[in-house]
Amino acid sequence: MRPALSCLLAYALLVLAPLAAAAPDLAGSKTLTLHSRDGRATAIGTVRFEPRADGSAAFSIDLDHAVMKDHFLSMREFKCAEGEGEITCHVRYPYPQPGVVRAGDYAWLEHSLLFLYKQPRDFGAKLRNGLYFKLEGGDKGLVGTPQAVDLTVIGVPPDDPTVPPYKPALRDDIAPGARWVTRLTIE
């Protein structure tokens, strides 16, 4: 084998192979799990991926209503999980969106997994207490790291409905362990 070809092959094996291995499987039904700071993992539903010919995948989310309890907050019903003195509620993205992801671009799935948090003693929903889970490929699937967002941003329809509104400039990192839910996984 020629030296140049040998070097190229070695490069592909060392650099590109791990990247391919890190790409999550975006096909079939995956478990949606909240992970809390006490080490507990709570399966709250499923995400179903349907691959498309262009390399993207359509997705749908089904929350487990036996786990996610009904809370009536600020004149709306929310599905919520409770633990360690905090309530974490799913906030449905209120506008039509494509419901499609592709490897490395999970923005619409992230927008479909918006949450808010509140203390049990707090009355109503405080939309400034939003949680956005930034998704990245992990060992077994997707791992979401919580970021703070103000959910009032989606109180009015976006100017361009084809562009997800929560760009990085509208999200802030959260100190590890500051919230009851420390990560979300889709595996």
Average pLDDT over residues 2-24: 48
Lowest mean pLDDT: which of 2-16, 39-53, 66-80, 145-159?
2-16
Q: What is the pLDDT of residue 95?
A: 96
pLDDT in tens, 95-146: 999 999 999 999 999 999 999 999 888 877 788 999 999 999 999 999 999 9
Asked whether the predicted pLDDT for residue 78 surpasses 90, the reply is no
Tell me if 163 sits within 8 A of 107, measured CB to CB.
no
pTM of the model as a whole: 0.85
- Which two three-digit tokens encode residue 136? 């990245």
Tell me if 37 sits within 8 A of 180, measured CB to CB.
yes
According to DSSP, residue 4 is labeled: H
What does pLDDT average to over the chain?
87
pLDDT in tens, 114-127: 999 998 888 777 88
Asked whether the predicted pLDDT for residue 3 surpasses 60, the reply is no
